[in-house]
Amino acid sequence: MPTESQTEIVRVTGLSNQEFLEQYARPGRIGLSGGWTLVDKAICRAERHLNEDEKWGSWSHAFLFEGQRLDRHHWVIESDLQIHHKHIQLGVQENRISKYHDEKLYSCLAVLDLGLTDAQVDCLLQEGLELVATRARYSLRELVGTIIALRRPELRGKDNLLARERSMYCSALIQHLFRKAGLDLAPGLDLKNTTPEDISRTAVPHVKYLLEREAPVNKLKAFNARLRSRVETRVRGIKERTGRKGK
């Protein structure tokens, strides 16, 4: 494991999401995901305020690996919004890790290993399961409060302007669980102003296993570029012909 003054990044290639998670997911480790959906891009765009050059963030969701059960599936604890047929899950919940096998939805994954003790892992899971059992909510309202704070950095260390009782979004949940276990992943930030990008940049010594894929070519943008080029070429041709006729 890294020393107190360093972290280690292990870049992984050539694996599917499933293979990557089977190899690196362990109880108590943190998962991060990024994708190409509108929601992912909106969150990553909001995180641009964390960078001087306003480069977009890489991560839009954070979750905790819980471990393998008798069903031989690895499970995660997370705060998320999921819509199924005639059923909506909104808040802290347990899901199978297979949710993250879809590479069309989850193009980038990371696993953070902070080298926790067994006692720290137990604390994380106990608190996480308590929040699942008591149905802590996912707060879209607090997410808006965090976006406001991202635009005004002096607010990030203060209470979320739109905070609610018994609710938290994904990265706030991870920050809450780790503070319960005696680790502050983002010192100086209010619990409910913590983003997935903040979790990914934690100064707590860790190993980060990283699986990244290039974004696919945006077909609409490519089509628009070709169309624009054709129009510009045609306009130039018309101007040249008109100019010759004028002479």
Question: In terms of Cα–Cα distance, which of 110, 93, 17 is closest to 59?
Answer: 110
In a domain, 73, yes or no: yes
For 51-84, the three-class secondary structure string (H helix, E strand, C coil) is: CCCCCCCCCCEEEEEEEECCCCCEEEEEEEEEEE
In a domain, 56, yes or no: yes
Give the model's pLDDT for residue 219.
Answer: 44
Rounded to two decimals, what is the model's pTM?
A: 0.84
Domain shared by 167 and 243, yes or no = no
Angle, helices 170-180 vs 118-133, to 10°: value is: 130
Domain shared by 146 and 178, yes or no = yes
Domain span holding position 106: 8-216
Domain shared by 173 and 54, yes or no = yes
Domain shared by 236 and 130, yes or no = no
The number of angstroms, rounded, from the C-alpha of 31 to the middle of its chain's C-alpha atoms is 9
In a domain, 160, yes or no: yes
CB 12 within 8 A of CB 22: no
In a domain, 130, yes or no: yes
In a domain, 1, yes or no: no
Residue 218 is which amino acid? N
In a domain, 129, yes or no: yes
Domain shared by 29 and 144, yes or no = yes
Give the model's pLDDT for residue 231.
Answer: 61
In a domain, 199, yes or no: yes
Domain shared by 228 and 212, yes or no = no
Stated length of the chain:
247
Give the model's pLDDT for residue 244.
Answer: 62
Q: Would you write out the chain's pLDDT as a tens digit for each of its 247 residues? A: 554 447 899 999 999 999 999 999 999 999 999 998 999 999 999 999 999 999 999 999 999 999 999 999 999 999 998 765 565 678 999 999 999 999 999 999 999 999 999 999 999 999 999 999 999 999 889 999 999 999 999 999 999 999 999 899 999 999 999 999 999 999 999 999 999 999 999 999 999 999 998 765 554 455 455 556 666 676 676 566 666 655 5
Domain shared by 247 and 168, yes or no = no
For the chain, how many structural domains are there in total? 2
Domain shared by 212 and 163, yes or no = yes
Domain shared by 190 and 224, yes or no = no
Domain shared by 202 and 227, yes or no = no
Domain shared by 135 and 241, yes or no = no
Strand locations in the chain (E): 8-12, 30-34, 61-68, 74-84, 87-96, 108-113, 207-211
Domain shared by 224 and 137, yes or no = no
In a domain, 228, yes or no: yes
Specify the 3-state DSSP secondary structure of 34: strand
- The CATH code of the domain that includes 84 is 3.90.1720.10
Assign residue 42 a region (left: φ > 0; alpha: ψ between -120 and 50; beta: otherwise).
alpha
6-to-57, 58, 82, 206, 235 alpha-carbon distances in Å: 22, 21, 36, 8, 58
Give the model's pLDDT for residue 4.
Answer: 46
